Amino acid sequence: MQSLSSIRAPESANDELFDGLVRLARQHVGVMSALVIAGAEDQPRIRTCVGAALEHAVSLGHLEAPWRCTDALLVVPDVQCDERLRDLDLLAAAPHIRFLLACPLRAPAGEVLGILYLLHDQPRELNMAQQQTLHELAQLAAQLLAREAADADWQQQVDLLRENERRMALAITGSGTGIWDRNVATGEIHYSSGWKALLGYAEHEVGNRIEESYTRVHPADLTYVQASIQAHLEQHTEAYEVEHRLQCRDGSYKWVCSRGKVVERDVAGQPLRMIGTTTDISAMRALSEQAQQTASLMTDLTNEIPGMAFQYQRLADGRSCFTYASGGVRTIYGLSPEQLLANPDLLHEIIHPEDWALYLSSLAISATNLTPWHLEYRVQLPQQGTFWRQGDACPRQLEDGSVLWHGFIADITEHKLIEAELQEFATTDFLTQLCNRRSFMLQLETELSRVQRTAGHCATLLMFDLDHFKDINDRWGHFVGDQALRHFAAILRAQLRKTDAAGRMGGEEFAVLLSDTDIAQAMSFGERIRSELARTPLVHAGEQIPLAVSVGIAAINAGDPTPEAALSRSDIALYRAKRSGRNRIECHSEAAH
């Protein structure tokens, strides 16, 4: 294979068909260069190349057989450590290249149409998700190349078919197109030998009744065919012409184009005779369907997949506009593509006010530094609510000084909700919905830092332990025990301020952090909890279950080396309350210890 530097690409090599895919592949794995080489092996052509240019001749000849015979990605984490590439000119000509990925772009028939390359100047490892994404992008690129070839072949076939049709009009006999002649009055229809052969029938295997002919029409096409014929018989159309499916002798269906015209009518205008032709268009239909499928794939990439593909331009004078927006804009912004293209200022009313400045500044930074744009932000859609969006785009500076972005905006609302749920799950005790021990200790650590750096700031820590909790479990069962824990947690929550925190430390032990609160205020808080607990016993199956709690209180000191120091003091006070008869409050005294 030729060296990359000897493969000359025209200035227009980076066409839009491949540029977006290659940029996406490069951005996805974060490499310095990505390119697509297509064409014959002896005349390769760079279709697109993004990223750092190669300064030396880089031969990739050793990447040929047997690798091209597979569909797998060739991933070389470090070309200098791969025995297969020991003699590769790449190492001598461009020693800064360390990572290489290559994937064949294979046509449905199996031939290689081109190769997608990713190159980087540092060793890399790719996970399975990245490899799968690259493989899918390579498949899309292959489909684009295949579509180009199919479109050219399709156009050639269409041109040839049209020429054949013109010749058939001049000399239909011997053209291979089937001919039929129908007696409208009697219902008889006669077929030429070519017509019968078209469907694989012998001369004697086709009857001459119109009723029988309709049995060969595909059921899904029958109503349409009969209506088209009737419209012509009643002179609503100049001629009869319809594409439909006919059943062959082997049971398969073939696409045909049937054309006909009434050539004889009676004095009252009633049709007597109709002559027409049947042409096999199966190949053309197959090519057309393939082209439509490829076109649909490209449409799906921009309009049908969740999210919005866009092209956004900021002019040198500071004005900006969207030059393209896919149909996904309706979901992302609640606008039609036409509305956004006509008035980009509509986004000012849609993007959350708290995120608008960040949205503008992130685009400005991307434009100034020509770095990829990435932003998570909120939108407010009328009558729908607030949602999260994630925007990603690659900027490119144009010759006139303007900056053009190609990008994609996705709905990440569900991801954000899951993220919040996971955060809550990681920080919340499932049973009581209070902070779990880990989360509470982090808040205690934060409060200790505030006490240490802020003169005059005070805080207290209270430890609560439900008295005789084991007796509750033994007498009424663990289900009632859980109810008791939830009941106590609800009483705690009702007494907390926004600046306070409460957590379940384990079993029937709870902790409360009171910010900007001294010992006397903490004792008052503890008494309120005891009083409320006594006033509102747990009710189960009509029976009142009295609950009581022991409380230990300790101040958080600026000299505490760790949060555990204050926790230990409050535990000591709690133990003293339990030892002194329970259902009471004890404060830790530094003098006593």
508 is catalytic: yes
Q: Are 103 and 135 in contact (CB under 8 A)?
A: yes
| Interatomic CA distance for residues 486 and 431, integer angstroms | 7
Q: Are 78 and 99 in contact (CB under 8 A)?
A: yes
Give the burial class of 460: count Cβ atoms within 10 A of its Cβ; 0-12 exposed, 13-18 middle, 19 or more buried: buried
| Interatomic CA distance for residues 475 and 456, integer angstroms | 48
Helix or strand (DSSP H, E) at 589: none
The residue type found at 356 is: W
Give the 3-state secondary structure of residue 71: coil
State the catalytic residue, choosing from 55, 188, 264, 508.
508
Closest CA to 276 of 222, 240, 246: 240
Read off the DSSP letter of residue 561: S
What is the radius of gyration, based on Cα positions, of the chain?
A: 39
What is the arrangement of strands in the sheet containing 112-120, beginning at the earlier edge strand?
Answer: 45-51, 33-38, 112-120, 99-106, 74-76
CA angle 32, 35, 39 (to 5 degrees): 165
Helix or strand (DSSP H, E) at 274: strand 271-280
Closest CA to 376 of 330, 419, 335, 338: 419
Residues in CB range of 38: below 8 A, 6 or more apart:
44, 45, 47, 105, 113, 114, 115, 145
Terminal CA-CA length for the chain: 84
Q: Are 123 and 77 in contact (CB under 8 A)?
A: yes
Strand 549-555 relative to strand 585-587, pairing: parallel
CA angle 388, 389, 395 (to 5 degrees): 155
Give the 3-state secondary structure of residue 174: coil
Placement of tokens 């189960």 in the chain = 540
What is the arrangement of strands in the sheet containing 373-381, beginning at the earlier edge strand?
Answer: 320-325, 308-314, 403-411, 385-397, 373-381
Closest CA to 187 of 164, 213, 163: 213
Judged by phi (left if over 0) then psi (alpha if -120 to 50, else beta), residue 251 lies in left
Residues serving a catalytic function are 508
